Amino acid sequence: MLRVPHPIFVIHNLLNEARIKLEKMIDRFCDDYSLSKPRIYRREARKNYLSLAKSKKRRKKKIRKTIRKQLGYIKRNLGYLEKFMPDGYALIAKEIVLLEISRKCWNTFRHMQVMEVPTHTAYTLL
């Protein structure tokens, strides 16, 4: 039997992937420029992601709560990267593209959350 991904799960995976990419960028920044690593709540974010990914019944309330938390983790990571930029630390070309995609992803899903847009319209917004 072929499984077709549900729009909620696609959104959830996109947010998780964006969060992981941002964490890797922060790690590279801190390692290359010998900065202290900020708190990014990696384990908590992964635990939160897996709680929805592994659940059999995905209730509307749990979906909204998980997406809201993932958006918060992404926003925090974007904030850390934006703090590094004015201090003269630069991203490499590949990371600039990933950062812009992560920002667009965060803006899109944040807009959907605030406006209470149905999740199946995410494909048209991206």
> Domain locations in the chain?
7-119
CA 94 to chain centre: 17
pLDDT tens-digit map of 24-43: 999 998 998 888 999 999 99
Residue 122's pLDDT band, with cuts at 50, 70 and 90, is low
Answer yes or no: are the C-beta atoms of 70 and 16 closer than 8 Å.
yes
Which of the pair, 21 or 64, is modelled with greater confidence? 21
Quote the pTM value: 0.84
State whether residue 36 is helix, strand or coil.
coil
Q: How many CB atoms lie within 10 A of CB 115?
A: 7
Q: Specify the pLDDT at position 111.
A: 83
Which of the pair, 45 or 13, is modelled with greater confidence? 45
119 pLDDT more than 80 = no
Helix segments in 54-121, DSSP class H: 60-84, 93-115
> How many Å apart are CA 83 and CA 53, to the nearest integer?
32
The pair of structure tokens assigned to 69 is 């938390």
The pair of structure tokens assigned to 121 is 């319209």
- Percent of the chain exceeding pLDDT 70 equals 86
pLDDT tens-digit map of 93-109: 999 999 999 999 898 88
> How many Å apart are CA 24 and CA 60, to the nearest integer?
30
